[in-house]
Amino acid sequence: MNKNDLLIPSWVDHEMQNWARWSLSAEYPGCPDWPGPRMARDLISRFYRAPDWGDDVRPLPPNEAHAQRVEQVVQKRMQPLERRIVDAEYVHPWASGRWRNGRVGAARHLKRSLNSYEAILRNACLKVEQALGQ
């Protein structure tokens, strides 16, 4: 099952992925001990295999303004369980089991049923969609 099967619009998924890249690459607001760029570099070096296209190709940096808008929704409109699920889905898919075992792994990691995990993820993304509206 992909995100489209969950009725998450592709632009919302894109905003969530941008937010996750920003979260992993910048100082996290309000958390002075957030590892920020060092952690992102470690994750990239561990999991990312760069294509052999030369040194002139680099991933796009996150759009900070958009990411901060999503961050406001995450912090002010989402319940703690919704925040844990979007974190598992987007920010820390390696730690949650999402990367290796899909949503089943992330749901199991959070001790939720797959249906519950997906319903909460859908609801969290709906809040982003409503707040950012297009």
Which pLDDT tens digit goes with each residue over 26-74? 554 555 454 444 445 455 544 545 555 555 556 678 899 999 999 999 9
Q: Dig out the tokens for 121 from the structure.
A: 């993820």
Whether the Cβ atoms of residue 104 and residue 42 lie closer than 8 Å to each other: no
The confidence score (pLDDT) of residue 133 equals 82
Q: CB of 69 within 8 A of CB of 132? A: yes
What confidence score (pLDDT) does residue 31 get? 52
Smallest CA-to-CA distance from 87 within 111, 64, 106 is with: 106
Token pair, residue 56, equals: 């002139």
What pLDDT, on the 0 to 100 scale, is given for residue 4?
Answer: 45
Q: At residue 29, what is the residue type?
A: P
Fill in the amino acid letter for 19. Answer: W
User: pLDDT tens digit string along 67-124?
Assistant: 999 999 999 999 999 999 999 999 999 999 998 999 999 999 999 999 999 999 999 9
Give me the pLDDT at residue 55, please. 58
What share of residues in the chain are helix, strand, coil (percent, to 5)?
A: 70, 0, 30
Dihedral Cα 5, 7, 10, 13, nearest 10 deg: -90
Give the predicted TM-score (pTM) of the model.
Answer: 0.73
Q: Tokens at residue 30, please?
A: 């309000």
